[in-house]
Structure 1
Amino acid sequence: MKWSDGVPFTADDIIFWYKDIILNDELTPAKPSWMIVGGKLGEVEKIDDYTVRLHFVQPYGVLLDSLAIYGGQGGFFAPRHYLKQFHPNYTSEERLEKMVKEEGFNYWYQLFMAKNDWIQNPDLPTLRAWKPINEPTATHWIMERNPYYWKVDTAGNQLPYLDRVTHVLAEDPEVINLKAMAGELDFQLRHLMLNNYPMFMEASEKGNYRVVTWESGFGSDVAFSPNLTYKGDPVLRDIIRDRRFRIALSLAINREEINELCYLGLGEIRAATVPPQNPAYREEFGKKYIEYNPERANALLDEMGLRWDKDHKYRLRPDGKTLSLTIEVVAGIFGPWVDASELVKEYWEEIGIKTAVKTEERALWYQRLYAGEIQVAVWSFGQVLFPIIRGLRLIPFARECPFAPLIGEWYVSRGKSGVEPWGDLKKVLDLWEKAKLTVDREKRIQLTQEILRINAENVWNIGILRAPATMCMGVLKNNFRNVPEVALSDTNLNSPGNANPPQFFFKQK
């Protein structure tokens, strides 16, 4: 195997990733969770030019699965021959400082991370099928075939078939939908809106394209996650931490109405759990607290002592203030999340909770999530297809965990910052650690089911429905071939990467 610049790919590229990137606290202050077993970071040893050995303090039952998801470029190896020029272990301080200033950075590690970003740096060697040749901010972001790509087809033909891939920069998702509908795009799988499905079908003949629908690997298309580590208001945080409150929030939601108004009636009402494709799935997990029962929701809030104000409009907190929640949602990137949020606002206000919906840009949403500043986070309930490998919507082992981001921070910092887990939150982390170590598949499924049971009982995430296949639709020009009509679309599979894009081609007349 060779990098895209023709330099051989060897064990040194893996050792460089481990010793010079992962073990460097300036580059990697929070170590990758998949490399931590038994509370300790694993070690990587070079055996020869093409062999490495990984050492962990305990057996690691899902190592190969973890490598399959996390172990790509940047996740398990990096081009040492190129990146070492930006690293103080290989370059003089004087030369490094000069490059840092020339590139407009303050510190060497900022320069290094920029150079190790394949999207931002076209010069970075890659093992991927295509590599960018210009900046992603360009109107047309172009990728050209890697001449040293390491795959061939069954007839021995060099892959990829396509010499060039061009991404067209769009100002918002609606522009993407209009371009796809007009037949201006050869292939588009992301950001196509469900409510446009009838129009896509109607315009397909004129646009000379076909519509494919892939099944979703998400547990719920949209989920509402009250933040148990919200740091802006201790009184509200303690209310959110009361399980009865979260159950009440779930029971107050009319999911059938959301399905009809936002999903064309095509969704399947479902709590936030793994999809049926996972062997640990149980129907009872998907049915927990999803009935529309505002009467019971009100009874639970009464039981908590959250009494109504004198006008019987809103409930009051223990400190006498109006009980209010803010839902934060990213607008228009994947599904009708804003519309669903507005309906949830109505349902929660009917049980006395003053609710606001705040839409914001994706980067800001993540920034606020990581800081513990979001009260109720809205996102898809994805990355749960392989919960022991990457179940950060179910287990708070990373800051991306929407219901406890500061516990995720505590985990990745190994207790140096964040919020220490307690009760069932600690239990699911312990079960997750145990499941990672388990080499027996059936035992691992049992441990996963216990994690799912605890999640369902605690309602840490409030699911709405499982998306219909039309939610994962793609628009393809009729001459764009070798794309499966049926597949599974999921973040963990890097869809459409699981459909083998290097083998996509244009059919010649």
Structure 2
Amino acid sequence: MSRKSAKRRNRLIAGGVVAAVVIGGAAFAIANMGGKDDGGGAAAAEDITPSERGFLEPPIFADRVEAGELPPIDERMVPDPLVVGPGTYLQEEYLDWQNGRYGGEIQFSALASSGFVNIVGSTILRSPGQTTEASVPNVVSEFEHNDDYSAYTMSFREGLRWSDGEPVTTEDVRFTLEDLYGNPDANRPAPSWLYTQGNPAKPLAQLEIKDERTFTLTFAEPYGQFVADLNSWIPSYAELVKPAHYLKQFHADYADAATLDALVKENDRNDWQSLLDYKDVPHWDVGEPRGMGLPTLNPWILVESGENLTVFERNPYFWQVDSDGHQLPYIDRVVVNRVVDSDARTNAILAGQVTLASGGEVSLNNMPIYKQNAERAGLTVFTTGSFNNPLQLFLNRDYEWDVEGSQWQAVMNDPDLRFQKAIAASIDDKAVNDAVYFGLYEDLDPSWRTYDPEQAATLFDELGMTAGANGQRTFPDGSPFVLTLTYTGGQSDFNPVAELLREQLGAVGINVQLEAVDDTLWGQRKDANQVMASIMGNDGPGWPSGISEDYLPAHKGPWAPEQYQYFLSNGERGREPDAALQEFFQLHTSRKEVPPQSEEGVKRWEALETWFKENYAFIPITGAQVTPTVADQRLQNLPKEGSPVNLDVYIGSPGLWFADADESAAE
């Protein structure tokens, strides 16, 4: 092994023995953790003396504990910790769980500061993978709901603390709901999932404080979907439970006026409201410099954030443990190195400067390179399923809705949906799969659509979209037809897929104009309803469980954004929904009454999925996505090859990863 490779691998401190996980009795009871260690097992392997309660103090904290700067682990750990093992974060069939050992650093490579590595483990409830049917308390220790799912009572874990050591109490919930979302002066609208049935046009959850640990949220109507929201990292705990003791210093109702004014100026904000918004960092952005100092419930704390580097270190108050008594996370530090583009990231991976890369960070077209260099670079290269759909084609039903005589509206409003059906039948999914995804994506489910260019031509002709002398089709009134496809260059497959769509649609006479824009312009065009058609991925595998709802008409590629505005505003804004969209909103709202993966919830999801297919809300371009992963060979507790859950989901649970022992790697 080369010196360069050996140096790289030493970044991951060698791990120890593999221990079986035993979770006995109640879901939150720690098995085999009483008293002193018998001289064997994890404690002996790591030369750590177990505490009186049976926990193993992370060595990185030993000096701080000895100096009195940090309480010992028995005082930091909650009385009733969550014991993590097989089936806690990922179904047992998809993960060969091992208890790990402390130490080491994991390196990521990103185009910007990244907080995504640090969010999934800290949901209010916890279900394995991307399900919500086996929910157990996580941030809370007790959870219950009434019979019609309109009221939810939960209790924080006794002794739960923020990363700075301050207690987590119901004041953190009260401050969030009343002083932020409920105070017009704060100018902080509540997230939609905290409204009844996730609809801001309906009442916000009503809070009742029972005591310092227990509270109840009551909704105006049955809201079973709320169970999924409490499991989801997409809203995360941080939209319901905020560190009041920290944020009050930026709130005019609590802070000294002169001190607050100085903080506004120091942070280059316009007023206290913008300062509060700036300091209350969304969970997606916890790696940004403004996240420094924000107390968290995540596995790691942000300790450095600059132009080229983001560093997280372990949270001494994290409440999850394994059955050997290790306080999670196993790994001490997470380092996110900034790169200028995807090519630089590939070079960093091959140079051994990245411990783990997955999803959008690793292109399928680079898989041969990674596999060829796997042994030399000490890498494991494998594929899994995905939390994401591949790119979908979105046709905007509301584009030019307010333009009199719009020919786009004429074809989109055809009661038989012949335009949408013709576009769908024009796309050769196998050709896209072979050309862009090396034939690795799954075959397209024919219940969504089938490739049939002859049928497409017939449908276009029936609509009056005939081809002229140049072979290009016109609108029904004879005017030139141009399909403008707007998209961002967010991932490496956007451009080649867009080019193939232009070629395939061109073969049936559709003139496609490609418009690649940056993220900022994309957002502006989308918000202004200036996008005729677009390509974008979404979270399809997360829809049945309710973890994600980005199928909504304005969430990813816009497909009916103005009718969605009408729905959200109770008719004050946007376009009145047609009969089809009224049915969609009814199905969507009805689904929210019950938990998504209950027997009734499954039926309601299937009805909604059928609506998507029959109404061409979006058009799948290929079959289900396959996601590549490249990891250091010694990194343990990763999903198995072929697992349906990829690291884009599981990456938020890196508190479970550890480095296995491999003495030869350090030679």
TM-score range, shorter chain: 0.7 to 0.9
SS in 1 for 2:210: strand
> Which residue of the partner structure matches residue 171 of structure 2?
12
Cα distance in structure 2, aligned partners of 1:259 and 1:12: 52
Residue equivalent to 1:119: 287
Conserved? CA contact 2:534–2:557, under 8 Å: no
- Overall identity of the aligned pairs, in %: 28
- Asked if 1:473 is matched to 2:642, the reply is no
Q: Aligned AA for 1:342? A: E
Equivalent in the alignment of 1:441: 598
Which residues of 2 match residues 144-159 of structure 1 at below 5 A?
A: 144-159=313-328
Look up the equivalent residue of 2:578 and give its one-letter code: W
The answer to whether the 8 A contact 1:406-1:418 is kept is yes
Which of 42, 45, 49 aligns to 2:212? It is 49
TM-score if structure 2 supplies the norm length? 0.68
SS in 1 for 2:459: helix
Q: For 1:166-219, what per-residue CA distance to the aligned partner results, in whole angstroms no more than 9, with x for missing partners?
A: 00111112222222233321111232001111221111011111113222233x
How far, CA to CA, are the matches of 1:339 and 1:103 in structure 2?
Answer: 42
> How far, CA to CA, are the matches of 1:222 and 1:403 in structure 2?
14
Instruction: Find the partner of 1:63 among 211, 226, 247.
Output: 226
- Quick one: which amino acid aligns to residue 385 of structure 2? E
Whether 2:335 is the aligned partner of 1:171: answer no
Separation (CA, whole Å) in 1 of partners of 2:635 and 2:342? 22
After alignment, is 375-384 or 256-265 more displaced?
Answer: 375-384
> Hey, what does 1:253 align to over in structure 2?
427
Aligned residue for 2:208, secondary structure, equals strand
Q: Does 1:308 align with 2:467?
A: yes
Partners of 1:34 and 1:212 in 2: CA distance: 39
2:307 maps to which residue? Answer: 138
Tell me, yes or no, if the aligned pair for 2:398 and 2:561 is still in contact at 8 Å.
Answer: yes
Unaligned stretches of 5+ in structure 1?
271-285
Partner SS for 1:299:
helix
- Equivalent residue for 2:657, pick from 495, 504, 507: 504
2-side partners of 1:138 and 1:266: how far apart? 36
Matched, 1:82 2:246: yes
Q: Any idea what SS the aligned residue of 1:154 has?
A: coil
Q: How does 1:418-429 map to 2 (within 5 A)?
A: 418-429=574-585
CA deviation vs aligned residue, 1:28-56 (integer Å, no higher than 9, x gap): 34641453238332222211110110101
Are the aligned partners of 1:392 and 1:401 in contact in 2 as well (CA < 8 Å)?
no
Relative to structure 1, the CA distance from residue 315 to residue 268 in structure 2 (aligned partners, 3 Å threshold; closer, same or farther) is same
> Residues 370-410 of structure 1, C-alpha deviation per residue, up to 9 Å, x if partnerless?
332221121113244234735534343x5446312333444
Give 1:283's aligned residue.
none
SS of 1:328's equivalent? Answer: strand
Q: Distance in 2 between matches of 1:93 and 1:307?
A: 69
1:163 to 1:21, Cα distance in 2 relative to 1, 3 A:
same
Distance 1:348 1:315, change over 3 A: same
Q: What corresponds to 1:282 in structure 2?
A: none
1:22 corresponds in structure 2 to 181
> Structure 1 residues 332 and 62, CA, compared in 2 at 3 Å: closer, same or farther?
closer
Residue-pair matches, total: 484
Cα distance change on mapping 1:14 and 1:290 into 2, 3 Å: same
* 1: CA distance, partners of 2:460 / 2:372: 48
Deviations 1:50-91 (A, max 9, x none): 011010112222322221115524221110000011122323
- Distance in 2 of aligned mates of 1:409 and 1:106: 30
In structure 1, what is the Cα distance between the partners aligned to 2:236 and 2:490?
30
The answer on whether the counterparts of 1:246 and 1:460 sit within 8 Å (CA) in structure 2 is no
What's the secondary structure of 2:398's corresponding residue? coil
Which amino acid in the other structure matches residue 287 of structure 2? I
Distance 2:574 2:534 in 1: 18
- Matching residue's letter, 1:154: S
Q: Which of 495, 506, 518 is the aligned partner of 1:338?
A: 495
Report the alpha carbon displacement of residue 142 of structure 1 after superposing the two structures with TM: 0.8
Amino acid at match of 2:636: R
The separation in 1 between residues aligned to 2:545 and 2:576, in whole angstroms, is: 21
Counterpart of 1:274 in structure 2 is none
Q: Within 5 Å, which residues of 2 pair with 1:202-213?
A: 202-213=372-383
Mark the structure with the bigger radius of gyration: 2
Change (3 A) 1:247 1:28: farther
- The amino acid across from 1:328 in the alignment is T
1:102-501 maps to which residues of 2 (within 5 A)? Answer: 102-117=266-281, 118-120=286-288, 121-135=291-305, 137-190=306-359, 191-218=361-388, 220-231=389-400, 234-242=406-414, 243-270=417-444, 286-288=445-447, 290-309=449-468, 311-318=469-476, 320-331=478-489, 333=491, 336-387=493-544, 389-396=546-553, 399-400=555-556, 402-438=558-594, 441-468=598-625, 471-486=626-641, 487-489=643-645, 494-497=649-652, 500-501=653-654
**Paired residues of 1:383 and 1:390 also in contact (CA < 8 A):** no
| Contact 1:210 1:478 (C-alpha < 8 Å) held by counterparts | yes
SS where residue 334 of structure 2 aligns?
strand
1:439-487: CA deviation from partner (whole Å, max 9, x where unpaired)? 692222222111111110111211022345xx31211112222323344
TM-score (norm 1): 0.88
Distance apart, 1:141 and its partner CA = 0.9
| Distance 1:405-1:384 versus aligned 2 partners, 3 A rule | farther
